Amino acid sequence: MSDDVVHTKPKRRVNVYDHLLENVLAQEESERNPYIYYFATNFPQLKEYRDAELPNWRSFFNKSTMKKEITESGAMVFRVIEQLQGELQHLTDASKYKIVFFDCCSGKGFTSVMLSLLYPDSKIWMLDKDLKMNIDHIKSLPNINFEHFYIYPLRKGGFEKTLKLMDDKIKKEQALEPSREVVGICLASHLCVHLSEVMVHIYKNLDAMRSVVLSPCCSYVNEHNKHWFDYAENLGLDLHDEETIAVYAAWTMYLYSSLKELNREGVQVKCSMKIDPHVMSPKCHYIISSKLIK
């Protein structure tokens, strides 16, 4: 009798990413979420990382809320793609420009990962206040950096602190890339309360910030933001019910109106707002603005 031992290859552990890909690829085209399908089919590098079962990617591939977060990040990335194929197409001339993306309140960085693979010549800064989350996966992507940073509201100096951080990052990159003009693109997804206003102020006051894609979250009224209260009151809204979609829609319209005020001599601003039905959240308004320096 043979004592030979049959060695079998250990089974690969299945995670959220595997189920996501399997499900979306099995769906009829009319049923597919375009952002999840794009994520599943346009990033072969991610499949290579998954197949290799790299330890630093395990947390990323097993995020329980991956499906929802991909739709939110996908919407952000699509807005960037649209800009860089449209009014900001000149920024893709790598001989003249270097793009620095700021992924504000980045979380684990689904937006940053996609941007890193789409625009490998860019620099990406993930900014988030959470020091406990596992972001070991970005070690595989040399153009992504993470900085622990809390974006304070305007009344607590959030504008000044955030402006300095972003201005410093752009200037340091410019020192490393003197032959190219370094420009910023700011992405801010689901910023709570009035942190969205900080992003509007940054965009207005930092000439090197050529674009902002903003997806606001909630808002409320207090003595520090009566300007927002007045705006909503003129629309006939009761802001005490802060969870209503009507209040959220008014908040996004207020931010959109603030961005449209930027036009000044030498600067042309193009603004738009999109309600994206493919995002798995009721708060799916995306404000997009491009700044063209004449």
Greater pLDDT, 1 or 234: 234
Greater pLDDT, 132 or 118: 118
pLDDT of 287 above 80: yes
pLDDT of 10 above 70: no
Structure tokens given for 7: 């060695």
pLDDT of 37 above 70: yes
* 191/128 Cα distance (integer angstroms): 11
Buried b (16+ CB within 10 A) or exposed e, 167-205: bebbeebbeeeeebebbbbbbbbbbebbbbbbbbbbbbe
Residue 94: per-residue pLDDT: 95
pLDDT of 255 above 80: yes
Q: Tell me the mean pLDDT in the region 94-112.
A: 97
pLDDT of 23 above 70: yes
Greater pLDDT, 223 or 118: 118
pLDDT of 156 above 90: no
Residue 193: per-residue pLDDT: 73
Kind and range of the H or E element at 84?
helix 66-84
Enumerate residues 6+ apart whose C-beta is below 8 A from 71: 33, 35, 36, 278, 279, 280, 281
pLDDT of 71 above 90: yes
pLDDT of 148 above 60: yes
Residue 251: per-residue pLDDT: 84
pLDDT of 135 above 70: yes
Of 93-97, 194-198, 222-226, the range with the lowest mean pLDDT is: 222-226
pLDDT of 220 above 80: no
Residue 222: per-residue pLDDT: 59
Of 8-17, 170-179, 189-198, the range with the lowest mean pLDDT is: 8-17
pLDDT band at 102 (very low <50, low <70, confident <90, very high): very high
The residue written with tokens 């941007």 in the block is 115
Chain centroid, CA 178 distance in Å: 27
What does pLDDT average to over the chain? 89
pLDDT of 9 above 80: no
* 227/234 Cα distance (integer angstroms): 11
Greater pLDDT, 194 or 284: 284
pLDDT of 8 above 90: no
